[in-house]
A and B are shown apart, each in its own frame.
Chain A
Amino acid sequence: EFFVANEMKQTSGSFCPEGRQFNMSSQPDKGHQKQPGNGHTHQDPNQNQNHRPQHVEGPGTPALSMPIPDVHIQYTKLFINNEWHESSSGRKIPVHNPATGELLCEVEEADAEDVDKAVRSARAAFQMGSPWRSMDASDRGHLLNKLADLVERDQLLLATLEALDSGKVFLMAFFVDLMATIKTLRYYGGWADKIHGKTIPIDGEYFTYTRHEPIGVCGQIIPWNFPVMMFAWKIAPALCCGNTVVIKPAEQTPLTALHMAALIKEAGFPPGVVNVLPGYGPTAGCAIAHHMDIDKVAFTGSTAVGKIIQKAAGDTNLKRVTLELGGKNPNIVFADSDLEYAVEQAHSGLFFNQGQCCLAGSRVFVEEPIYEEFVRLSVEKARSKVLGNPLLPGVDQGPQIDQKQFDKIMELIESGKREGATLECGGSAWNQQGLFIQPTVFSNVTDDMRIAKEEIFGPVQQIMCFRSVEEVIQRANATHYGLAAGVFTNDIDKALTVSSALQAGMVWVNCYNAMSAQCPFGGFKMSGNGRELGEYALQEYTEVKAVTIKISHKNS
């Protein structure tokens, strides 16, 4: 009974989120074409596929779309200096399948002592003259490319582990998370030997040039919502610029990071260049943030913890800090937009990944003339979602990650009801077992309600009504956050006016969640500091050195 979706079950058989059809019995990427960025953090590799001859597709085009049954979990230890270590304390972290509550395995739990060990190995790998420092930049790029090839080879295994460990829908893990991981690694593989310094025409009898040097040992702390993809987002720019890394995956989802560690070794990265430490925030994470020999820390997670990280840098060695934090992202739908498309995009913009996205479009502002119809269609869409075991075909929403998140979401749903929003559908837990929450839609939400102000990080959609462009801009920006925003309209003037005015690091026009390795990502205001992805991310992992040489006879 658990594996069968309840009254929401589709009669059409195979179905997946955001309305994308997957043909489970044959190559899954042959028939599922939708608009770019349709609920996906990265575009599908075979987008435009209808226009592409067969042979253009990569060998990575997977023939299998089913998770590996009874997958064997091979790596459970700390990865330091290209070796597997037990934790100094001897403690372990229990790792659960959130869909069933079942214990998957135990992994070693790093704390401050292990962080010290990892930092020492990262520091040694960063010494002048080390294999890593004396390597050609193009060879660093080549290693990242090799790593991408290995991830492609193990795509099925990694996607299976990811779905088991995080509860995300297997096909999403396979097509979105893993593909994004591979593309990110390849993208930064290409940058390694293209990070150019400049020669600079300074005044006087001098010759000046800049060198873009790696910062040094980078601490990286990543969240549980996109475990392997966040791992790639963090290590790829860091390594391409020549840094060394101590990375802490989330305690909820350490498994794919540890498999990546094994691939890093297999690809041929020298010992100490990447060290992977599963552990908890208050112990291992805190030790990284406070470490006197870590030159830079990059964190993705909550705004509350982001503040702690920034403070720790101030309290210690002024390590560089980049932060990717929370959001309460406005998604603005004008009456002149394609209504059905906007509903679908707004739906996937919120419900993708069980609502566990910092990018989630969690404040949907809809223009008055279409408000009621928009709500009606959104509810219809939410009701059609199939919940169940994320490893099974046909399921498009899995469980929330853990009890704590589950409780928090349920508490916010209660607050929405209490504060007077209209609960259109959902609003409670689903099934007795696991951490499932019904897709929930609130209408008549006002800006002062908690559900309109706080990040819920769950499958709970808030739909508000607006009347004018000026009003909606003002309301959309009335938040401490500034991560992402969407606007749907066919009017070019409105599109450009609203997208210019929104205080957000990413603005999508007539699309949502359209992301790719080439495009920078990061927040205004309290959504963060710095940018990941794209060329912009390279700045976050380089120190610029200006070298000036006295010369005797300057000429242009």
Chain B
Amino acid sequence: PEVFKMLFINNQWQDAVSGKTFPTINPATGEVICQVAEADEADVTKAVKAARDAFKLGSPWRRMDASHRGLLLSRLADAIERDSAYLAELETLDNGKPYAVAYSVDLPNVVKCLRYYAGWADKWEGKTIPIDGDFFCYTRHEPVGVCGQIIPWNFPLLMQAWKLGPALATGNTVVMKVAEQTPLTALYVASLIKEVGFPEGVVNILPGMGPSAGAAIARHMDVDKVAFTGSTEVGHLIQQASGNSNLKKVTLELGGKSPNIILSDANMEDAVEQSHFALFFNQGQCCCAGSRTYVQADIYNEFVERSVERAKRRVVGNPFDLSTEQGPQVDQEQFNKILGYISSGKREGAKLMCGGGVAADRGYFIQPTVFGDVQDDMTIAREEIFGPVMQILKFKTLEEVVERANDTKYGLAAAVFTKDIDKAHYVSNGLRAGTVWINCYDVFGAQAPFGGYKASGNGRELGEYGLDNYTEVKTVTIKVPQKNS
């Protein structure tokens, strides 16, 4: 199939105004896959203009039946499903995640997410409201307008679907900047967006860098809303840019340092396996990674021992090999940053139980790493590592662990493992996190909302809640001669 390497604006493929391109790299080898057009401010302005035109009153997109918007999303899901194998391959090439995972986790979830929001398109109902007085009052749920969307490189296709699904179901138009590390699958999906018949300008996709293209979106005076998934650091910049420009609506999905709490009555084998998965899934490159594993004192030693044993068994290697569990980190910068954290862990006195080093002589592979005896004030217990590095901490009482678990600026996800129904509720109610899993981890469904407390973000994606962030509510009040119930 054709590899799409240009900007997608107004359903057309375009070079960057500047003529610039950037290389996208295969992280398993460090080799350049291809050059991709690099959007900056001039291209953003072009895309916003296309999105604005597509959003004009009377446009095909604005006049379209809501059910037809849903049908287009459904067809996009069908097209992605049809091309799943190719897209999974491209995702693995560009991102480094194991092909088996891309094919069996990322792709089906992309399809499901789009189908889910396809269904919402004609079910996002306003209300009629019994206000006081001789009036008739109703609400219309209208799209916000032109939405800027900036997505990360850890789940390129899935993040694209999470962003497009609710925005398009509710009738917005989109200017999306995809991560410079992983632009290829998003551009392929752009070709499918055109194929299934979305009108021109409804979706525009721009590969580019954060400080240029991303910043241009965030401060654009004609972008009505910006949705960002990425680091908390950049989240601050986005929110500031909105304040400095047109007060565009902002939703943010940011970092986490998510606690995973194992009580001594939990099923040990299951808890070890789930905690391993919670941290190491996707090379540890998950905002919701369970990166503080709190284990109750009486089972602590056994848990650490088994976790180390499990980490040592983790198969690291060529992501196209079907038995591979862990591929490379996404790029040199992340690779260096993670190795830096591992050094700080050793330096600050955590006990390195396994791993800790580079796992191959080329590409960005890091050994699965486990730290025991981690203290709450260590850097590796406070900062987001975003790599295959597990921290195991010890606790004694429920009250203590809830307090320690919440002692972070983040609040994205959390989990508790226990067979005790009372403890499960006590801990899950007490945790300050947008998602709490009980006896499971990383369970996502398009139907269930996802988002952060505190500095982990603002707003929710997925589920019905995800629609709120893409909707303006208009209250219409009509004077009537005489009201009756």
Where the two chains meet, the residues of A that have a C-beta atom closer than 8 Å to any C-beta of B are: 43, 45, 47-48, 51-53, 55-58, 137-138, 141-142, 145, 183, 186-187, 189-194, 196, 207, 492-493, 496-497, 500-501, 516-518, 535, 549, 551-555
Q: Once the chains bind, are B426 and A552 in contact (CB under 8 Å)?
A: yes
Q: Once the chains bind, are B119 and A52 in contact (CB under 8 Å)?
A: no
Measured CB to CB, the closest approach of chain B to A202, in angstroms, equals: 14
Q: Once the chains bind, are A190 and B481 in contact (CB under 8 Å)?
A: no
Measured CB to CB, the closest approach of chain A to B483, in angstroms, equals: 8
**B379 lies within 8 A of chain A by Cβ:** no
Q: Once the chains bind, are B480 and A497 in contact (CB under 8 Å)?
A: yes
Measured CB to CB, the closest approach of chain A to B370, in angstroms, equals: 33
A residues in contact with B480, CB < 8 Å = 493, 496-497, 500
B residues in contact with A191, CB < 8 Å = 119, 123
Measured CB to CB, the closest approach of chain B to A546, in angstroms, equals: 17
Q: Once the chains bind, are A138 and B116 in contact (CB under 8 Å)?
A: yes
Measured CB to CB, the closest approach of chain B to A141, in angstroms, equals: 7
State A476–B364 Cα separation when bound (angstroms): 78
A residues in contact with B482, CB < 8 Å = 497
**B422 lies within 8 A of chain A by Cβ:** yes
| A-B interface, 6 closest residue pairs, ranked by CB to CB distance from nearest | A190-B119, A55-B197, A551-B425, A496-B480, A48-B63, A51-B63
Q: Once the chains bind, are B118 and A190 in contact (CB under 8 Å)?
A: yes
Set A43, A53, A138, A553: member contacting B115, Cβ < 8 A? A138
CB-nearest residue of chain B to A195: B447
Where the two chains meet, the residues of B that have a C-beta atom closer than 8 Å to any C-beta of A are: 58, 60, 63-68, 70-72, 74, 112, 115-116, 118-123, 125, 136, 197, 199-200, 421-422, 425-426, 429-430, 445-447, 464, 478, 480-484
List 17 additional contacts besides A500-B484, A551-B426; criterion CB under 8 Å.
Answer: A43-B65, A45-B68, A51-B60, A56-B64, A57-B197, A138-B115, A138-B445, A145-B74, A187-B122, A190-B121, A190-B123, A193-B119, A194-B447, A194-B464, A497-B482, A501-B484, A535-B123
Q: Once the chains bind, are B425 and A52 in contact (CB under 8 Å)?
A: no
A residues in contact with B120, CB < 8 Å = 190, 194
State A19–B242 Cα separation when bound (angstroms): 53
State A205–B121 Cα separation when bound (angstroms): 39
Q: Once the chains bind, are A141 and B425 in contact (CB under 8 Å)?
A: no
CB contact under 8 A between A555 and B119, given known A47-B65, A194-B447, A496-B136: no
Q: Once the chains bind, are A56 and B60 in contact (CB under 8 Å)?
A: yes
* Chain A CB within 10 A, most for which of B67, B421, B422: B67
Q: Once the chains bind, are B426 and A52 in contact (CB under 8 Å)?
A: no
State A269–B134 Cα separation when bound (angstroms): 51
Set B67, B121, B123, B484: member contacting A183, Cβ < 8 A? B67
Q: Once the chains bind, are B123 and A518 in contact (CB under 8 Å)?
A: yes
State A555–B484 Cα separation when bound (angstroms): 41
CB-nearest residue of chain A to B70: A190
CB-nearest residue of chain B to A43: B65
CB contact under 8 A between A187 and B67, given known A52-B60, A493-B481: yes
> What are 11 A-to-B residue pairs whose CB atoms are below 8 Å?
A56-B64, A137-B447, A138-B115, A138-B447, A190-B118, A190-B119, A191-B119, A196-B464, A535-B123, A552-B426, A553-B429
CB contact under 8 A between A497 and B426, given known A183-B67, A194-B119: no
Set B66, B67, B447, B478: member contacting A492, Cβ < 8 A? B478
CB-nearest residue of chain A to B74: A145
State A169–B401 Cα separation when bound (angstroms): 72
A residues in contact with B446, CB < 8 Å = 138, 193
A residues in contact with B464, CB < 8 Å = 194, 196
CB contact under 8 A between A497 and B197, given known A48-B63, A52-B63, A535-B123: no
CB-nearest residue of chain B to A183: B67
Measured CB to CB, the closest approach of chain B to A38, in angstroms, equals: 16
B residues in contact with A517, CB < 8 Å = 67, 122
B residues in contact with A43, CB < 8 Å = 65
State A552–B425 Cα separation when bound (angstroms): 8
CB contact under 8 A between A48 and B64, given known A191-B123, A492-B478, A552-B426: yes
B residues in contact with A193, CB < 8 Å = 116, 119, 446-447
* Chain A CB within 10 A, most for which of B68, B70, B112: B68
Measured CB to CB, the closest approach of chain B to A384, in angstroms, equals: 31
CB-nearest residue of chain B to A137: B447
A residues in contact with B122, CB < 8 Å = 187, 190, 517-518
B residues in contact with A516, CB < 8 Å = 67
Set A52, A496, A555: member contacting B430, Cβ < 8 A? A555
CB-nearest residue of chain A to B169: A190
State A555–B429 Cα separation when bound (angstroms): 7
State A196–B197 Cα separation when bound (angstroms): 31
Measured CB to CB, the closest approach of chain B to A20, in angstroms, equals: 18
State A187–B136 Cα separation when bound (angstroms): 28
Q: Once the chains bind, are A189 and B68 in contact (CB under 8 Å)?
A: no
Set B74, B118, B425: member contacting A207, Cβ < 8 A? B425
CB-nearest residue of chain B to A469: B481
CB-nearest residue of chain A to B62: A51
B residues in contact with A555, CB < 8 Å = 429-430
State A552–B399 Cα separation when bound (angstroms): 13
State A501–B71 Cα separation when bound (angstroms): 37
State A183–B65 Cα separation when bound (angstroms): 12
* Chain B CB within 10 A, most for which of A56, A191, A554: A56
A residues in contact with B421, CB < 8 Å = 549
State A518–B446 Cα separation when bound (angstroms): 22
State A196–B447 Cα separation when bound (angstroms): 9
Measured CB to CB, the closest approach of chain B to A498, in angstroms, equals: 11
Measured CB to CB, the closest approach of chain A to B228, in angstroms, equals: 26
Measured CB to CB, the closest approach of chain A to B401, in angstroms, equals: 14
B residues in contact with A552, CB < 8 Å = 422, 425-426
State A58–B71 Cα separation when bound (angstroms): 8
State A186–B71 Cα separation when bound (angstroms): 9
State A353–B211 Cα separation when bound (angstroms): 63
B residues in contact with A497, CB < 8 Å = 480-482
Q: Once the chains bind, are A141 and B119 in contact (CB under 8 Å)?
A: yes
B residues in contact with A58, CB < 8 Å = 68, 71
* Chain A CB within 10 A, most for which of B58, B199, B481: B481
State A553–B426 Cα separation when bound (angstroms): 6
Q: Once the chains bind, are B425 and A53 in contact (CB under 8 Å)?
A: no
State A496–B480 Cα separation when bound (angstroms): 7
* Chain B CB within 10 A, most for which of A45, A55, A145, A493: A55
Measured CB to CB, the closest approach of chain B to A251, in angstroms, equals: 33
Measured CB to CB, the closest approach of chain B to A494, in angstroms, equals: 9
B residues in contact with A141, CB < 8 Å = 115, 119
State A493–B72 Cα separation when bound (angstroms): 39
State A80–B333 Cα separation when bound (angstroms): 63
State A12–B429 Cα separation when bound (angstroms): 73
State A408–B29 Cα separation when bound (angstroms): 83
CB-nearest residue of chain A to B122: A518
CB-nearest residue of chain A to B125: A535
Measured CB to CB, the closest approach of chain A to B302, in angstroms, equals: 28
Q: Once the chains bind, are B478 and A142 in contact (CB under 8 Å)?
A: no
State A207–B425 Cα separation when bound (angstroms): 9
CB-nearest residue of chain B to A492: B478
Measured CB to CB, the closest approach of chain A to B429, in angstroms, equals: 6
State A45–B64 Cα separation when bound (angstroms): 10
Measured CB to CB, the closest approach of chain B to A183, in angstroms, equals: 6
Measured CB to CB, the closest approach of chain A to B270, in angstroms, equals: 21
State A187–B74 Cα separation when bound (angstroms): 12
A residues in contact with B445, CB < 8 Å = 138
Measured CB to CB, the closest approach of chain A to B419, in angstroms, equals: 15
Measured CB to CB, the closest approach of chain B to A245, in angstroms, equals: 21
State A524–B118 Cα separation when bound (angstroms): 33
Set B67, B136, B197, B484: member contacting A186, Cβ < 8 A? B67
Measured CB to CB, the closest approach of chain A to B158, in angstroms, equals: 16
CB-nearest residue of chain A to B117: A190
Q: Once the chains bind, are B481 and A549 in contact (CB under 8 Å)?
A: no
Measured CB to CB, the closest approach of chain A to B129, in angstroms, equals: 14
State A493–B136 Cα separation when bound (angstroms): 11
Measured CB to CB, the closest approach of chain B to A334, in angstroms, equals: 15
Set A45, A56, A493: member contacting B197, Cβ < 8 A? A56
A residues in contact with B65, CB < 8 Å = 43, 47-48
